[in-house]
Structure 1
Amino acid sequence: MKLINIKGDTYYIKGGTNTGIVKLDNSSALVIDPGLGGMRPRKIMELLENNHMDVKYIINTHEHEDHYEGCNQIKQSNKGIHILSSKEAKKFIDDSCKFADYILGGKSNRFLIPKVCKEKDNLIEVDTIVNEGEIVLNNKKIEIIKLTGHSEGSIGILTEDKVLFVGDLFVGANILSKFELLLMYDVKSYFESINKIKNIDFDYMILGHGKEIYSKKESELLIESHINAINKYITQVKELLKLPVTVDNILKSIINNNNLSCDYKEYYFFRSSILSIISYLCDLNLVDYSIEKGEMLYYSKKA
């Protein structure tokens, strides 16, 4: 594990989930997305200690456990550490079982419940809600940018060094080639967040998942590839809606037609994204529904 300098006082630590580090003054630091629990939070603390940094704040870009699960282990070293997130993300971080219930559409089960939910001694509580705009931590300015779409509570963090942490709004090019069907809470908001990124003044962009550091110029191709991926699946869903069809049959066709592999959790992530696409089309007044013989059927509205 290495502390990699991006620019000025902004660093990151590579991992399954990348962790941002901002040096706030001579000795204190902000951690962005500590990642999963276990060995990683302990190693992060050791690494920062070796670099003479004490964690004062943790900001979570959103409410998925692979980004926030390690919060409590870090806070155990110093109860004065403040954990921050958006208002929407706080609901899920404070109640770690809630997201699994949301994805399943009812009470979750042992196949989907995250480890952080099972470990009652690892309860996490967000101390401070952050809204879009500028905040100051130990005299260091941090800009919070609302980037909903992937999740309800997603935010981006822009440092004084013009380094932008975007959470899971984007994934690395190698990951996108394998998992084109992105997890989307709100398709319309996803597009709006992508367009917002284009107008932000940043020098480097760090993703929640991916090995590359993207310059502003390099991010253009990544942004375009995400737009294409989303539109690809919108087009496929619209094609399947030409005849009345259930959500699960749409999902079945999407998985088979695109050779997507998935486990239990990923299946419900895919299903959630399909429902988000259908809702997006419903809001555009392009889709209607009927209930026939106990089945909910969606279909394209005739022009």
Structure 2
Amino acid sequence: MELINIKGNTFYIKGGTNTGVYIYGDNTALIIDPGLSGSRPKRIINMLELNNINLKFIINTHEHNDHYGACNQFREHYKNLYILSSEYAKLYIEYPDLLSRYIIGGKSNEFMDGKLKSKSLEKIDIDKTLKEGIVSLNSVDFTIIDFKGHTSGSIGILTKDKVLFVGDLLIGSEMLSKYDFLFIYDLQEYIKSINKLKIIDFEYLVLGHGKDTITKQDSRELIKKHEDAINKYINQIREELNTSMGLENLLKKIVVKNNLRNNYKAYHFFKSSLVSVISYLVELQEIDYILSDGELLYYTKKK
């Protein structure tokens, strides 16, 4: 494990979920996305201790537990730790069963709960919620950016070193090539967030899941790959719905056509993303529905 300097006071630690670290002049620190609970946060704490760094703040970019799950492990060690998130993310972090219910579409079950519930033994409390704009922590300003889409509570954090932590707004090219049907809650908001990212003044981008930091120049190519992936599935769904079809049958065609890796959790994630695309096309007034023999069927409107 290594504390990697990006620029100035801004660092990150590679992992299954990358963790951002901002080190203040007084050798205290802010962490962005501590990741899952377990052995990794213990190693991060040991590394901070070896460097005489005292953790003061955690910011969670969004409400998925692979980003926030370790919060309580850090709080147990740093008694005065202050944990922050967006207002919407706070709901899901403090009540993680809500995510399972949303994904399932009703009461959840052990098939999903075992995958999605936080491994933290105790309830995580968010001390303060963040809105888009400037927040001052330990007399240093950070820019909070609303990046709705992947989730409703997703935010980005821009440090004064012009390093931007984007959570899961983007994923690395290697991961995108394997998992290009992106998990998106609100496609319209996601597209707005992607377009917002294009005009933000940053020098380096840190992904929640990716091997390396990305320069502003290289981010353009990665953004284009995400836009291509989105458009690929939008167009496939438009085409499939030239014949009226139910949601489950449509999902089956998308999964088989694209050879998507599937399990119980992934199936429901794909279904959630499919509903997001359908809602987007409804907003564009491109598709409609009928009820036939007790089944709800969507179809593409004829021009």
Q: TM-score range by the shorter chain?
A: over 0.9
Look up the SS of the partner of 1:142 in the other structure.
strand
Q: Answer with 117-126 or 158-167: which moved more.
A: 117-126
AA aligned to 2:77 is S
Q: CA deviation at 1:119?
A: 5.5
Partner of 1:32: 32
Look up the SS of the partner of 2:289 in the other structure.
strand
Partner of 1:113: 113
Residue 192 of structure 2 corresponds to residue 189 of structure 1 = no
| Deviation digits for residues 76-126 of structure 1 (CA, Å, limit 9, x no counterpart) | 112311110001111100001110110110111111115674767321111
Partner of 1:276: 276
Tell me, yes or no, if the aligned pair for 2:69 and 2:120 is still in contact at 8 Å. Answer: no
**Separation in 2 of the partners of 1:4 and 1:69?**
22
**Separation in 1 of the partners of 2:201 and 2:268?**
36
1:1-303 to 2 correspondences below 5 Å: 1-114=1-114, 117=117, 121-303=121-303
Tell me, yes or no, if the aligned pair for 2:100 and 2:117 is still in contact at 8 Å. Answer: no
**Separation in 1 of the partners of 2:295 and 2:225?**
35
AA aligned to 2:35 is G
% same residue: 50
Tell me, yes or no, if the aligned pair for 2:56 and 2:82 is still in contact at 8 Å. Answer: yes
AA aligned to 1:164 is L
Look up the SS of the partner of 2:156 in the other structure.
strand
**Separation in 2 of the partners of 1:81 and 1:45?**
13
Any runs of at least 4 consecutive aligned residues in structure 1 with deviations exceeding 4 A, and if so which? none
CA RMSD of aligned residues (A): 1.2
Question: Residues 189 and 130 of structure 1: is their aligned pair in 2 closer, same or farther, counting only changes over 3 Å?
Answer: same
AA aligned to 1:178 is K
Question: Residues 115 and 56 of structure 1: is their aligned pair in 2 closer, same or farther, counting only changes over 3 Å?
Answer: farther
Look up the SS of the partner of 1:122 in the other structure.
coil
Question: Residues 272 and 159 of structure 1: is their aligned pair in 2 closer, same or farther, counting only changes over 3 Å?
Answer: same
Using structure 1 for the length normalisation, give the TM-score.
0.97
Q: Structure 1: which 5+ residue stretches go unaligned?
A: none
Look up the SS of the partner of 1:113 in the other structure.
helix
Q: CA deviation at 1:50?
A: 1.3
Look up the SS of the partner of 1:112 in the other structure.
helix
Question: Residues 116 and 291 of structure 1: is their aligned pair in 2 closer, same or farther, counting only changes over 3 Å?
Answer: closer
